[in-house]
Each structure stands twice: as structure tokens, then as C-alpha cells.
């Protein structure tokens, strides 16, 4: 099957996700419940991050929410694809994922850090990506955008508001920029894992 036609699964998407407008994406949002995904193809995984991020001490995740990220890691390792989480996510230590620039894990997985600003986000939004089933040289081209992002993800933290950039909305913090979604789908479609690992 050609890369352009190969189906992928998008796990833990927003209900109004951009992925629902992209061809070849089997999108699992909160209504479909990604815990019920049967497997069988590469994934783009966006598991909930508030229990894992820098502000986790202030977060109020559902009682079962934290385990969803561990499930997403398992799916990426079994079927190939990419997992996206905020930079410095504690998921990396909990799931023994290799930090950016630190080599590979036993599944051949590796990580990089990219700013979503390069893909059209209005804030810099530094992101860690964990890949399985694709080599660095096989990644689609990553854009490079110079300059400062016009907005910020965080709150003002006591700084002079007159000199601060505007903070983005909650929806914009959670949404994936269209160009980034397309890029992540291309990564997943180019990912392959050995059949014996999937059958294990």
C-alpha cells in the first residue's frame, strides 16, 4: 500500500480535531474512547498531558487519565508511529523513553524536540516527539521558522503585562496546528515495525 493511502489511527484526539478532516485517519476522540482501539496500524498519539507536564501539581485530571499516556506508549511501540507530549513531560521517565539526543530504547524508539511554532502555532510550544518504526533520515522535512512567536502558552506569572505577549486560549493550547497534523500523519504512514513485535 502506498504511503498516501495507508490508514493510520489518531489516538486521544480532540472532538473538534483537525485530523477528522484529513484522509486516511481513523480518529479516536473521547466519545470513541481510544482504550477500545483494536490496533493494527501505525498511530499518531496525543495522550492527555496535564498529569505529566510542568504544571501537573495544579492539574485536576480524571482518576484514570494518567494511564492513557502509558497505553499510548505501548501502542506506538507495538504498531509504530509517533507520540507527542509537551517538552519535559515526566512520561519520558515513567515509561523509560529516551530523551531527545540520548539514543534509542529497546524498541528502537528515539525522540526529538521541536517547537510547534515552526508548524504554524502562534506560541512557541516546545514539544517532545517519540518515534518507533521510522529512522531519522526518513522523517519528512522539518520547517525552520526564525523569529519570536507572537503569543505564549503560559500565564503571565507576575510579569509586567504591558510587556508580555498575549497568552493563547485553552483550546489553542490543546489543538494541533494543521501543518503539524499533516506532518505527524506522514511520519506515521512512513513507520513500520517487525511483524513479530506486533504479534508478541
pLDDT block averages, 10 residues each, the chain of length 200: 74 95 96 96 91 53 77 98 94 95 96 93 87 97 89 58 65 80 97 66
Helix intervals (H) in 115-189: 170-174, 178-189
C-beta of residue 6 within 8 angstroms of C-beta of residue 191: no
Query: Which residues, listed in sequence order, are joined to residue 151 by a DSSP beta bridge?
Result: 123, 166
Say what the pLDDT of residue 185 is.
97
Say what the pLDDT of residue 2 is.
46
Task: Tell me the pTM.
Answer: 0.86
Say what the pLDDT of residue 46 is.
96
> In this structure, are strands 166-167 and 8-11 parallel, antiparallel, or unpaired?
unpaired
Say what the pLDDT of residue 28 is.
98
3-state secondary structure of 105: coil
Say what the pLDDT of residue 54 is.
59
Q: In sequence order, which residues have a C-beta less than 8 Å from that of residue 150 and are 6 or more positions away?
A: 122, 165, 166
Give the start-to-end residue ranges of the domains of the chain.
8-199
Say what the pLDDT of residue 48 is.
87
Amino acid at each position: 500500500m502506498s504511503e498516501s493511502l495507508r490508514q493510520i489511527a489518531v489516538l486521544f484526539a480532540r472532538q473538534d480535531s483537525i485530523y477528522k478532516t484529513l484522509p486516511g485517519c481513523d480518529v479516536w476522540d473521547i466519545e470513541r474512547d481510544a482504550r477500545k482501539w483494536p490496533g493494527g496500524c501505525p498511530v499518531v498519539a496525543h495522550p492527555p498531558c496535564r498529569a505529566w507536564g510542568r504544571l501537573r501539581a495544579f492539574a485536576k485530571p480524571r482518576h484514570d487519565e494518567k494511564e492513557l499516556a502509558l497505553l499510548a506508549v505501548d501502542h506506538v511501540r507495538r504498531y509504530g508511529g509517533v507520540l507527542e507530549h509537551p517538552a519535559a513531560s515526566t512520561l519520558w521517565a515513567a515509561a523509560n523513553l529516551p530523551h531527545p539526543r540520548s539514543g534509542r530504547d529497546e524498541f528502537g524508539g528515539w525522540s526529538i524536540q521541536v517547537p510547534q511554532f515552526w508548524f504554524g502555532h502562534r506560541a512557541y510550544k516546545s514539544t517532545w516527539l517519540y518515534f518507533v518504526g521510522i529512522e531519522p533520515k526518513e522523517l519528512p522535512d522539518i520547517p525552520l521558522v526564525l523569529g519570536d512567536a507572537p503569543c505564549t502558552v503560559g500565564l503571565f506569572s507576575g510579569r509586567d503585562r504591558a510587556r508580555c505577549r498575549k497568552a493563547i486560549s485553552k483550546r489553542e493550547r490543546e489543538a494541533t496546528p494543521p501543518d503539524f497534523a499533516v506532518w505527524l500523519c506522514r511520519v506515521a504512514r512512513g513507520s513500520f515495525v517487525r511483524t513479530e513485535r506486533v504479534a508478541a
